[in-house]
Every structure is written in structure tokens, then in C-alpha cells.
Amino acid sequence: MSLEENPFRVGLETERTSAPSVFVIFGASGDLTKRKLLPALYNLAVSRLLPPGFSIVGFSVTELTEEAFREQMHEGISKFSRRKPVDEAVWKDFASRLHYVSGSFGEAANFAKLREKLEELDRKNGTRGNRLYYLAIPPSLFPMVNDQLAKAGLVADPNDASKFSRIIVEKPFGHDLASGDALNADLHRVFAEKQIFRIDHYLGKETVQNLVALRFGNAIFEPIWNRNHIDHVQISVAEDIGVEGRGKFYEEAGTTRDIVQNHLLQLLMVAAMEPPVAFTADEVRDEKVKVLRALKPIVGSDVAKYTVRGQYGPGNYLGKPVPGYRQEENVSPTSNVETFVAMRLELDNWRFAGVPIYIRAGKRLTKRITEISVHFKDVPHALLMQDGSHIEPDVLAIRIQPDEGIGLRFVAKVPGPTMMLRPVTMDFRYGSTFGGSGPEAYERLILDAMHGDPTLFARADEVSAAWNLITPIHQAWAKEPPRPFPNYPAGTWGPKESADLIERDGRAWRRI
């Protein structure tokens, strides 16, 4: 019998429940665990969404007793949980499910130790061999952990209905097409695709899911969501902070790998995909990947024409001086790494042919904002503007963060005896309409992984298709002489070339 056969579940809100399992975190003493994973798991416990017997095992190189690990996690939860203060009654129960195994990932003996711990929890807590492995470690260590898990017999057969093993991996999913494919191939050596959950926390955000609701839950948008009505689309992922101590990582990644290859392209996919036949994992991901396949490749001389790179120099943040990228910790003083990128993309498909998609992402920009704006075409005939001036076209803006919401700009008549038109906005704000705070992206995604629902996770072919766009651009950039970086001061909207990229087409970046 399965959960679905529980007669007490019929008609309840919580029809979706997951089987008891052990959540193993590799890299448990790291920042991600303390800042995101444990607070998310704790909040799931507070919301009573963890199944009975659910246990957590932290695995890391750092020598720690279980007690010390629990203390560290309590500290992390106190600081980073969306619910404060810590509910001590829930914490006491939650802490009793927290365990720790220390050791390097390269030694089989440590995985034997892990296996013993997991078997003990199976006996004690009834977790029945169900495992979720979360790799909160650098991708270079994935193959090692993968191998050790397989050798220790810790990966269940994907077709075994009596138990499950799932692996959750964090970006970056490689650094180019070859390494991305190699990483996928390596994961596939041990895990079937349906056991792999590639997490991109943007997809766990309520507003990204609301974009699906906006497009496919309303009849008024879909008929105009095409080249006949849309002039162009802009997607901005702007951060006002710098690399914040992640200089070493950023030197290897840059904005294109850190933001564009994953978060930004995910937004593009959701904004541009065709309606899936069902809101199920493969149907949704099939449609998303078709968007990436339809992206016109940017290769050769087009790279210089359709892409812009930038790197911030010293400037200001909230009225205080801040260093340039090259002055950041663990960054080369001659670094050629981009902290800003803008591109002009096009989709070669029936719906969007000829509709440019301008994207930009960067650090130390004027403000922190992530937004998709759909700019509609001009009215065909300027009937109402007697002085021949231009009527501002309509814009639908979907704000992903912060201040999540949707705004529609349209024109209205200014009261008075003459026909004067003025753009006005109609604004829907999540916060003031629905109030409260929803679950964090990690809560939603971890819960989905526990349920075995990969709809909001990236599939292998999605990752490859994204690299397929990015890798030729990187290759072309690598052949160019070093750029005259820095080329924009911190606290501005990026280099001038970014404005030129869009102005060349007679358009401008939206003021956001």
C-alpha cells in the first residue's frame, strides 16, 4: 500500500505527503547549510511538513560532535530563519533528528561510517532506506562523492518501488558545455535522471511560479503573448552588492556563468515557453527546453555585436564609497572577469520570431531588482495625438524581487478639455494584496524533492542547452584582447555599451 491508499488522506489539504527519509547533507559545516538548508528544513518542521521519522545527517570534513553540530545549526536557524525566534519545542524535536558524520569524502571508510549511521536511523526511525543526498560542496567533489555513494551501496535502484535515493545538486552545473555534459554524465553513472534534482532557487520563488499562473491562468494574456503584439522583452537581474567575499568563486565564474546560464535563462524559459499539456515535470521541462533550443546562437562576429561585458570599478553604494571588483578580496588586480553582461537574444520560433529579448545582469548596479518586462507594440495609428507626438506603448512588468508583483503601464486621458494622453500604471503587489510571507524558495524545492517532484528542477538537457548558448560566447570573449576594465563605476547601470546595445535598435532599457 502507498500513501495514496490512505483513506484518511482523501479530501485533505495535505494529500501530498512524503515517505519518511534521511536527508544527508554533504558539506554540512558550510555556509549554505547554515544559511539556507537548515533554516528551510526547520521551517518545514514548524509547518508540520516533515514526515514522521524524518532525519538529517550532516557529513563534512570538519571534526564536530553531534552536539556541536546541533549548536551550530541552532545558531544558523536563529539568525537566518524567516521565523524568529526559534520555537524551542519544535527545535528540541528537530534537534533530536540531527546527526553528524565527519570525514573526508575520498575515504571509503567514512562512507561505511555513513552507511552504518543510515542503517541505524532506518531501524530507529523507520526511514526504510529512503535517502536524499544534498551536495552542498564544490562541483569538483561531485564525482568523488558519487563514486563513494555507489561503492558503499548507498544508491537504490531507480526502479525499486520500496525505497528511493535522490541527489540534489547546486549550481554551477559545470563551467561550459563540455564540463556541464561531463558532470551530467558523471551523475548518470550512478543516478538515473529521475533521481537527480538540479536546484535553481529562482524556480522556487513564488513570483516565478506566478508567472506561469499569469500566463496560463488568465485568458487575456496568452492571445497577445506573441510577435504580433510584443515589440520586445527585457529581463534584468540586477544586484546592488559586490562579490561579498566570493572573489575566488567569481574569478572562475563571472556573471554569465553565475546568473545568466541558470537564473536568467530560467526566467526566459518560463516567460517564453508554450503552454505545456499538463503541469507535470516532463511536460513543463519539455516546453522549457524548446525555448533554449530556439535561441538563435550568438557566434563569431555576432558576439561583439550582441553582447556587452562590464566590470565595476570603485564607486558608491548607498552613499558610501565601495571598492572596484579588482580591489575585492581574492580577485586578481588585472582580472578580466565580467561582473556585468548584457545581450540581445532572439528566438527562432513561430511565437517570437523577430522579437528581440534584451537581458542584463550584474553586480554593483544602481539597485537590486529582478524583473521581466514585456513591451507591447505601438498603436498602429496615432489617432489621439494631434501634435504628432509618440504614444508610449504598453508595458507589462513582472517583478520577481524585491517587492514582488505585476505592473501594467498604459495610457489614459489627462482630465481637461483637450485629448492629452499620459502613461499610468496599474500595480499589483504581492505583499499588500496577500500579506504575510510565503515559504522560502529552498523550502518549496526541498519539499518537492522529498515528494519526488522534479517540475521545478533543471533537467540535464536544459543544462546542456543553456551551455550551448553560453559556451560560444565565452570562447569568442576568450579570443578577444583584454577589455578596458573597469568600465562602469559601482552604483550605476553598467557600461555605456549596454545602453548602446539596445539604443541601436531604437529602444531603451526600462527605468526600473
Which position has the grid cell 551523475?
187
Give yes or no for a cis peptide into 333 (omega within 30° of 0).
Answer: no
**Using CB under 8 A, which of 17, 78, 226, 401 touches another protein?**
17
CB-CB contact of 36 with 28 (8 Å): no
CA distance 142 to 105: 10
By CB under 8 A, tell whether 387 contacts another protein: no
Which residues are the active-site residues?
Answer: 263
Contact segment (CB under 8 A) with another protein among 44-52, 360-368, 379-387, 491-499 equals 44-52
CA distance 326 to 482: 14
Spell out, one character per residue from 431 to 470, where the chain touches another protein: x when CB under 8 A holds, - when not: xxxxxx----------------------------------
Spell out, one character per residue from 114 to 153, where the chain touches another protein: x when CB under 8 A holds, - when not: ---------xxxx---------------------------
512 exposed, middle or buried (CB, 10 Å; 0-12, 13-18, 19+)?
A: middle
Which is nearer to another protein, 68 or 426 (by Cβ)?
A: 426
Contact segment (CB under 8 A) with another protein among 5-13, 137-145, 150-158, 475-483 equals 5-13
CA distance 136 to 133: 9
By CB under 8 A, tell whether 408 contacts another protein: no
**Using CB under 8 A, which of 61, 82, 87, 147 touches another protein?**
87
By CB under 8 A, tell whether 3 contacts another protein: yes
By CB under 8 A, tell whether 53 contacts another protein: yes
Contact segment (CB under 8 A) with another protein among 7-15, 145-153, 175-183, 248-256 equals 7-15
Which is nearer to another protein, 153 or 431 (by Cβ)?
A: 431
Question: How far apart are CB 421 and another protein at their closest, in Å?
Answer: 19
CB-CB contact of 121 with 99 (8 Å): yes
What is 424-491 written as a DSSP string? Answer: EEEEEEHHHHH-S----HHHHHHHHHHHT--TTSB-HHHHHHHHHHHHHHHHHHHHSPPP----EETT
By CB under 8 A, tell whether 229 contacts another protein: no
CA distance 108 to 44: 32
Listed residue (457, 467, 337, 449) closest to 24, CA to CA: 449
Question: How far apart are CB 160 and another protein at their closest, in Å?
Answer: 16
CB-CB contact of 457 with 288 (8 Å): no
Which is nearer to another protein, 151 or 422 (by Cβ)?
A: 422
Question: How far apart are CB 451 and another protein at their closest, in Å?
Answer: 13
Q: In this structure, what C-alpha cell is assigned to residue 68? A: 556541536
Question: How far apart are CB 12 and another protein at their closest, in Å?
Answer: 6
* Residues that bind another protein in the complex, under the rule CB under 8 A: 1-3, 5-14, 17, 19, 46-48, 51-53, 87, 89-90, 92-93, 96-97, 123-126, 426-429, 431-436
